Amino acid sequence: MEKLDKIDLRILRILQTDGRIQNIELAEKVGLSPSPCLRRVKILEEAGVIERYVALLNAAKVGAGLTVFVRIWLKAQDADTVDHFTKEIRQLPQVVECHLMAGDCDFLLRVVATDLDAYRDFQVHSLTRIKGVQSVKTEIPMQKIKSTSELPL
């Protein structure tokens, strides 16, 4: 993929806010006719600039209203321990984000749950049962100030 020009960026900005916009309307907004507009979208998709289209749900309304950040320290940092941990984490649907960190802790997770009870259950029965986990520190947000899937362009 060569460089993104102004029209590509405009297309991406719009698709980031409305992934279901009709091509005909998108074309109008970026100042093209439908064919070349669709051609550009397809190119952006094939180049992997657009990774996927998804519906975003209201977390509270589907029983995932609580977000928790979890810091995790492993007993060791060798490849086996880390690989095993990451493999297990990827299987857990409550873990929506997981990063291997430089510095203080080993991993930083974002976990969703219905409420604190459900989270405690998850921590006791799933998270801390993974082999190699030494300690876990939970951090709880009181208010979500901002959360977006839109990347700056």
Partner DNA sequence: GATGAAAGCTTGTCCTA
Partner DNA sequence: TAGGACAAGCTTTCATC
Residues at the site binding DNA, with contacts judged by CB under 7 A: 7, 22-24, 32-36, 38-40, 42
Two structure tokens written together for 116: 């604190």
How many residues sit close enough to a copy of itself to count as binding (CB under 8 A)? 60
The neighbouring-strand residues paired with 113 are: 66
Interaction mask 110-139, a copy of itself, x per CB under 8 A = --x--------------------------x
134 Cβ neighbours under 8 A, 6+ residues apart: 73, 74, 75
User: Is 17 one of the binding residues for a copy of itself (CB under 8 A)?
Assistant: yes
Pair 16, 52: CB distance under 8 Å: no
Pair 59, 67: CB distance under 8 Å: yes
How far apart CA 119 and CA 37 sit, in angstroms, is: 45
Report the residue number, 24 or 140, with the smaller CB distance to a copy of itself: 140
Q: Is 35 exposed, middle or buried (0-12, 13-18, 19+ CB in 10 A)?
A: exposed
Which residue type, as a one-letter code, is found at position 70? Answer: V
Pair 153, 12: CB distance under 8 Å: yes
What does 79 interact with, of a copy of itself, DNA, none (CB < 5 to 8 A by kind)?
A: none
User: Is 33 one of the binding residues for a copy of itself (CB under 8 A)?
Assistant: no
Q: How far is the CB of 35 from a copy of itself (least distance, A)?
A: 19
What does 70 interact with, of a copy of itself, DNA, none (CB < 5 to 8 A by kind)?
A: none
Q: How far is the CB of 92 from a copy of itself (least distance, A)?
A: 9
User: Is 79 one of the binding residues for a copy of itself (CB under 8 A)?
Assistant: no
Quick one: which segment of 31-39, 73-81, 87-95, 124-132 binds a copy of itself (CB under 8 A)? 87-95
User: Is 97 one of the binding residues for a copy of itself (CB under 8 A)?
Assistant: yes
